[in-house]
Structure 1
Amino acid sequence: MYTYRGNIHVHSTLSDGTKSVDEIAEIANKANLDFVCITDHSCFDFDKTGYYDDLLLIMGTELNKKKHHYLALGINEEVKEDCDNPQSVINKVKEQNGVGIIAHPCEKGSKIMFNGANFPWTDWEVDGYDGIEVWNYCSQWKDGISSKIQALKNLLFTPYKPITGPCPESMRIFDKVSQKRKVFAIAGTDIHSPKIGIWEILSYKQLFNALNNYVITDEKLPKDANKAEWIILDSIKRGRSYFAFEVYQKAEGFKYFIQSEKDKQVHSIGSELQLAQGLTADIKLPENKKADIYLIKNGSTFSKLMETSEASVSITDCGVYRVEVWLGKSPWIFSNNIYIRE
């Protein structure tokens, strides 16, 4: 297996970002990212997908303007927006075999920032979406601002203070849906990097080194950009990924799998398997870093192991299992699910 580190939900000058596609690729290369997904608003300039030096740049789009923002990856034709009927948008992305992700579903906004503008997802009767953006960096930063003084302090002295982990409400929705069907979670940076004078707020460089997704593939990415895009998006769609807040510690090398004592078969993140005797969930942290490991079953803590670098937990029940890793009160690594069926 191979693991690739990338940043999802990025805006360029093709919509309301402040850097061009080429400039973003240059910054991402310097941040040692393997891929970046650019999702400009209602932009269908897919021919910019390709390799930029060592970086695979995937051009997607963000659909709907007023509400029900929906990220679409892997499509090749324009999709008509419909803010009041998001099911229509979901269906059109699915018709193109694209990957559709509900963006910042529980965004609240701040009266101090952008006149309180917020773009939540309110229609949960929809079905057929592939993933949920459970952690949106810019939304969380914005939602946590209650005064101009606080905003200034965070910008100058404590830039990561508002970043507290995945949105709890979004995670509850993700866990609830996961118990009904397979769905994946991502973390998105939602970089726009607006400027105030000479200041670049929440810059591309800062966020490319802060919140990233790690995608697990069965094969090494080829130099053919179209094939490489398909491999990355297929793995994302299958939930073969984890995401991490990397300001204090990189997450490369994280391992989480469930294996059977009987046949020694290993089931990695995103897998579905049948309940059997002798199943164990095994977790190993990068570089033997000690942290607090939580094994989550059906949205609730199943096992908690404090200040350790690895864990092995016996599994005797069906359920949906994922992992959270915390460095004290600081968020670190969050996996997608492994599904154990009857």
Structure 2
Amino acid sequence: MTLWGGVGKGLRALVGLVLILIGWAGLYTLAAVFVEYPVISGTPPPVRTLGPRGAFHVHTTRSDGRGSVEEVAAAAKAAGLRFVVLTDHNDFEPREPVFIDGVLMVPGVEISTAHGHLVAFGLRRPLEGVSKWMDGDDAERAVRAAGGVSVLAHPVQKRNPWSHLEASWRADGYELYSADTFFRDAQSRPFSRLLPALGALLGNAVHGVMMLVEPGPEPLARLLELELTRPRVALCAHDAHGLPRYEDVFRAMALYLPVAEGESAEALPTDAREAAERVVRGLAGGGAVCAFRALGEPEGFRLEGLPPGEREAPVGQVLTVRLPPGSDERVRIEVRGAGRLLPDGRSVELFEPGGAQVEAWVRAPGGFFGTRWRPWIVPSPIRVVLRSGDR
């Protein structure tokens, strides 16, 4: 065989492979055209327990995002969000909260440390002594000294996991689900996961995003371990950079603030600082709920049996899960850690000290005309403690 003949054979093989991959992705594009969301729909209950929805952990052109602050605000408005927590990498210059076309932009920062990434928001004072790739413990202490909320960003991601043990015990929050981590995990399975999702994006962008949602056990196991010392705030992070598009990621998932007495379930205060205070308070207090809203809106979800505003309960307590109107056999309750689901499928018994995670999952559209179980509504975990007389 001549040299040119060998090159030609190799080129034909490469072209054939590309055509196969295009055809494989095209099948998922075709299937995605027929997918309809939401999966669960119903009339909102008369008493609202969830407030304005928004996005957490979003990047702009101030770091490695593809869109300006104004473009992110426009995408959030188009997706029906009321607030966005901006967390550009190592953007240490103090920012003020501001409304842009009705969407509240809340300042924050993602600090790149030598031990992983740490998200900070709700800062009362400027960060002092922080720098890129500083020690993770020093970064967490700096956030605490500034009166802010510290959140471990994508803590078990293969690319940038959190590795400072002592700082992790002190951090206030934990990103349980991360859209960016889903995307990066899919890259390790290019044919079975990434390519089908990219194909679906062309036919139904939100479905393409949802196809990436495949939680593994490691993030939750680590969160429940941290829950042993005190209640933790579990957040879903968009970690949005503009690819997939901001609007598509915002339509796929959101964080919903809790509604306290005297607060509006619909609107934020008109003053940007007051509105940002409510967002920070709602996210930091542990009462916010994450929802993969493409599957359905979470209004009506609640855990009965907990004192108002509390995320701690004694061993032996039984909680009742109330689901949104329209929920049916396509919804199941997932319980992990120190809780167990009782035979009625809606009651959760807390049976030992530790952390208990209670989530609603939905049988949702799969890849190619199939279905699979995906997380729908995700609150923060419950810390289970011994009753005072048992200690």
2:50 and 2:197 mapped to 1: Cα distance?
37
Equivalent residue number for residue 264 of structure 1:
none
2:351 and 2:176 mapped to 1: Cα distance?
28
Which of 169, 172, 180 is the equivalent residue of 2:229?
A: 180
Cα displacement (A) at 1:237 = 1.6
Cα displacement (A) at 1:4 = 2.3
Question: Residue type matched to 1:87 in 2?
Answer: D
1:8 and 1:101 mapped to 2: Cα distance?
11
Work out whether 1:248 is the aligned partner of 2:303. no
Work out whether 1:136 is the aligned partner of 2:185. no
Work out whether 1:171 is the aligned partner of 2:220. yes
Pairs within 5 Å for 1:46-195: 46-64=94-112, 67-75=115-123, 76-79=125-128, 80-81=130-131, 83=133, 85-108=135-158, 118-126=159-167, 127-146=169-188, 151-157=194-200, 159=208, 160-165=210-215, 167-193=216-242
Structure 2 gap ranges (5+): 1-48, 202-207, 364-372
Equivalent residue number for residue 293 of structure 1:
333
- Contact 2:318–2:349 at 8 Å: present in 1 too? yes
1:196-227 Cα distance to aligned partner (Å, 9 max, x none): xxxxx311011001122122141233212112
Give the TM-score normalised by structure 1.
0.82
Which of 372, 375, 386 is the equivalent residue of 1:331?
A: 375
Equivalent residue number for residue 216 of structure 1:
258
Q: CA 1:67 to 1:86, structure 2 compared with 1: closer, same or farther past 3 Å?
A: closer
1:126-170 Cα distance to aligned partner (Å, 9 max, x none): 2321001111111211112236556443212262323113x4211
Q: CA 1:316 to 1:185, structure 2 compared with 1: closer, same or farther past 3 Å?
A: closer
2:151 partner SS: strand
- Structure with the greater alpha carbon radius of gyration: 2
2:343 and 2:79 mapped to 1: Cα distance?
32
Equivalent residue number for residue 282 of structure 2:
235
What RMSD in Å do the two structures reach over aligned CA positions? Answer: 2.6
Give the TM-score normalised by structure 2.
0.72
Cα displacement (A) at 1:104 = 0.6
Higher-helix-fraction structure? 2
- Contact 2:127–2:142 at 8 Å: present in 1 too? no
1:7 partner SS: strand
Q: CA 1:269 to 1:81, structure 2 compared with 1: closer, same or farther past 3 Å?
A: same
Higher relative contact order (CA 8 A, sep 6+): 2
Higher-strand-fraction structure? 1
1:143 and 1:71 mapped to 2: Cα distance?
21
Question: Residue type matched to 1:121 in 2?
Answer: W
Larger displacement relative to structure 2 (79-88 or 35-44): 79-88
Question: Residue type matched to 2:293 in 1?
Answer: E
Equivalent residue number for residue 319 of structure 2:
281
Equivalent residue number for residue 113 of structure 1:
none
Cα displacement (A) at 1:48 = 4.8
Work out whether 1:6 is the aligned partner of 2:54. yes
2:290 partner SS: strand
1:175 and 1:255 mapped to 2: Cα distance?
20
2:162 partner SS: coil
Cα displacement (A) at 1:8 = 0.5
Q: CA 1:256 to 1:53, structure 2 compared with 1: closer, same or farther past 3 Å?
A: farther
Structure 1 residue ranges, 4+ long, deviating more than 6 angstroms after superposition? none
Cα displacement (A) at 1:66 = 5.8
Question: Residue type matched to 1:235 in 2?
Answer: G
